[in-house]
């Protein structure tokens, strides 16, 4: 089988897991991003995004990467409009997560509702059910410091692969939260 990112997967140890038979079977991964309709036939989706939106394009790329790394996992794109009424959040996505908690939830959307105080109890409950919460470190330093400083969310970053070596993307923050 041809693997587009063979060198990167080999460096990261992904191919070692695959050789041992681990390809994400039995794991449910939800991405808190919108994806474009009609791109994936194996991804469940709560709400599709506008194909011309840069956020939808980003979410579709995120899901494509998830599917490449763990092709045996159950995948879900999970993003909804969040509203606050009478001091409580109304979110189809959060309600779904509380009832159908995945093993992993990933998001790049922490600049929005993810880090608001009103959402913390929801994510704490999801975390307490055993969900591993992962956020992108590609945004502002203060957002990562606020979000990933506790046990609830773990920040991950991206790197380019250049001549056999990983090179941290300049747009990603660094520091204790990333270490």
Q: Are 62 and 108 in contact (CB under 8 A)?
A: yes
What are the CA-CA distances from residue 96 to residues 2, 50, 92, 116, 136 (Å)?
36, 21, 6, 19, 22
Give CA–CA dist 140/114, Å, rounded: 14
Supply the pTM of this predicted model. 0.84
Packing angle of the helix pair 92-99, 120-128 (nearest 10 deg): 20
3-state helix, strand, coil in the chain (%, to 5): 30, 25, 45
The pLDDT tens digits along the chain (179 residues) read 667 788 888 888 999 999 999 999 999 999 988 999 999 999 999 889 899 999 899 899 999 999 999 999 999 998 877 777 777 778 888 889 999 999 999 987 655 555 567 777 888 899 999 999 888 766 555 555 555 556 777 777 777 777 877 777 666 566 665 54
Beta bridge partners of 132: 104
13-36: string of b/e by CB count within 10 Å (b at 16+)? ebbeebeeeeebeebbbbbbbbbb
Torsion of CA 18, 20, 21, 23, to 10 degrees: -40
């Amino acid at each position: 089988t041809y693997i587009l990112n063979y060198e990167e997967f080999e460096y990261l140890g992904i191919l070692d897991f695959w050789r041992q038979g681990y390809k994400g079977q039995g794991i449910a991964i939800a991405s808190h991003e919108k994806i474009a309709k009609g791109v994936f036939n194996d991804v469940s989706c709560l709400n599709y995004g506008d194909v011309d939106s840069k956020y939808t394009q980003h979410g579709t790329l995120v899901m494509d990467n998830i599917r490449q790394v763990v092709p045996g996992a159950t995948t879900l794109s999970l993003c909804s409009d969040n509203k606050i009424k009478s001091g409580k959040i109304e979110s189809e996505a959060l309600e779904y997560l509380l009832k159908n908690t995945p093993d992993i939830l990933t998001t790049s959307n922490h600049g929005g509702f993810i880090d608001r105080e009103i959402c913390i109890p929801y994510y704490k409950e999801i975390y307490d059910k055993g969900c591993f919460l992962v956020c992108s470190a590609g945004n502002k330093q203060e957002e990562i410091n606020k979000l990933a400083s506790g046990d609830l969310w773990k920040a991950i970053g991206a790197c380019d692969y250049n001549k056999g070596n990983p090179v941290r993307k300049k747009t990603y923050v660094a520091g204790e939260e990333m270490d």
